[in-house]
Amino acid sequence: MSARVVIVGAGLHGCSAAVHLSAQGHRVTVIDKAYAGRHASGVNAGGVRRLGRHPAEIPLAMAAWERWQRMAEVVGDDCGFRPVGQIKVAESDADLEALTGRERQVRSLGFDHEYLITRDELCKRVPALSPHCPGGLACDGDGYANPYRTVTAWRRQAQRQGVSFHEGVTVTGLEAHGSGWQVQAGRHRFSADILINCAGAWAGTLCQWLGEPVPLVAEAPMLMITERLKPFLGPVIGATSRPLSFKQFENGTVLIGGGVRGEVDSRRQVAETCLGGLAENADTVVSLFPFMHEARIVRTWAGIEAVMPDQIPVLSRSSTSASVIHAFGFSAHGFQLSPISGEIVADLAMEREPAYPIKPFSITRFQGHRSSG
């Protein structure tokens, strides 16, 4: 039977859910208060990363990685995916010890995608790196893709499958209607058998209305990009004990980020960059790649992202309504998971058992949380 599905939020996860649900013959409508990929989905660092994932996310990240290999089949575009590998470098012996522990932990969970590399091997793979780094943890086949291109590919695929998008439309209220919902969005009204909450940093409002408040915080991870430099870097580089994500694109520009936060201006719904974190990031880069001292930054920016206190998403059925599914709070590392989150949402919506362990992502883990609003 074909259900009427309303998805709130045209980010990566909303669009992915739209693709998977429409492929199964459901009538899907996506509503977004701005446009597809306006915030975190469109302006993130584009890391396609299994390396360093929270243990609960590893099975999902492995499955998503398999989808990334054939994105062109899934959404009609490779999304700029380049499997150049990722390496987390140790800057000290203490860092190296932490990475050794991590390798052991991943193996004990039955995975072997992350493995230690020696100082010599690191030097061979990243010749531009400062020689003080004693080793690293590598994950071959990880890499990066182009975020805006990716969210657009998902949206277009959804549109090809008949999904209708309403951009610039803000949800203003929910009303239970039989077993489904009436979604009020200003003067628009949408009827839904199933409602899907992919509203990212704005997902908390819906949870509130549903009587299951969550301790979601809107944050603004910052990024900066350099002018074009001559090619010097293959894999994506991260640090062990400081925030860093560092990659060079094919056009020569270098993207720097990794978790330093700007400020969210909630009234204007924009993210602002802050000097402190950018300078800290600059300092990290210069200490790892001394020649970058002279590299010119041409642009800095930040995107608004939902972060949960335990740094893993909410990906589950609602605890208060059988016809609501949540997928939000990816805590600044949801980009890589987007191909799989939509599959899981589709399974949950159709009351099928998802093929992956998702218990840790249940919204019930926040039961008893009182909203500060």
Candidate residues 187, 230, 267, 268; the one interacting with another protein per rule CB under 8 A: 268
CB of 46 or CB of 135, closer to another protein: 46
d(CA 115, CA 124) in angstroms, rounded, equals: 16
Which one of 35, 172, 352, 364 is in contact with another protein (CB under 8 A)?
Answer: 35
Pick the binder of another protein from 103, 121, 272, 310 (CB under 8 A): 272
Tell the smallest beta-carbon distance from residue 280 to another protein (Å).
7
| Residues 109-128: x where in contact with another protein by CB under 8 A, - otherwise, as a string | --------------------
250 binds another protein per the rule CB under 8 A:
no
The smaller minimum CB distance to another protein, of residues 226 and 323, is found at 226
User: Which of 300, 316, 318, 336 forms a contact with another protein (CB under 8 A)?
Assistant: 300
Residue from 321, 314, 330 nearest 363 by CA: 314
Contact 223, 300 (CB under 8 A): yes
**What's the order of all strands across the beta sheet hosting 27-32?**
164-167, 27-32, 4-8, 194-197, 324-328, 314-317
Distance CA 373, CA 215 (A): 10
* Residue 162 binds another protein (CB under 8 A): no
- Count Cα atoms within 13 angstroms, Cβ side, for 136: 28
Check if the beta carbon of residue 315 is closer than 8 Å to that of residue 327: yes
**CB under 8 A: which stretch of 66-74, 76-84, 106-114, 277-285 binds another protein?**
277-285
| Inter-residue long-range contacts of 112-116, CB under 8 Å, 24+ positions, other chains counted | 113/50, 113/51, 113/62, 113/139, 113/140, 113/141, 114/50, 114/51, 114/52, 114/138, 114/139, 115/139
Which of 70, 104, 293, 352 forms a contact with another protein (CB under 8 A)? 293
Is residue 149 near another protein by the rule CB under 8 A? yes
33 part of the interface to another protein, by CB under 8 A: no
Site membership for another protein, residue 275 (CB under 8 A): yes
Q: How far apart are CA 350 and CA 334, in angstroms?
A: 23
Binders of another protein among residues 170 to 189 (CB under 8 A) are none
Q: What's the closest the beta carbon of residue 295 comes to another protein, in angstroms?
A: 5
In the bound complex, what is the minimum distance in angstroms from residue 74's beta carbon to another protein?
19
> CA angle 97-102-107, nearest 5°?
130
Least gap, CB of 300 to another protein (angstroms): 5
**Closest of 170, 196, 205 to residue 184, by C-alpha:** 170
Rounded Cα distance, 32 and 10, in Å: 5
Q: Does 160 bind another protein (CB under 8 A)?
A: no
Q: Name which of 138 and 169 has its Cβ closer to another protein.
A: 169
At closest approach, how far in Å is the CB of 179 from another protein?
35
Chain residues in the site for another protein (CB under 8 A): 35, 37, 42, 148-149, 152, 225-227, 251, 265, 268, 270, 272-273, 275-276, 278-280, 282-283, 285-286, 292-301
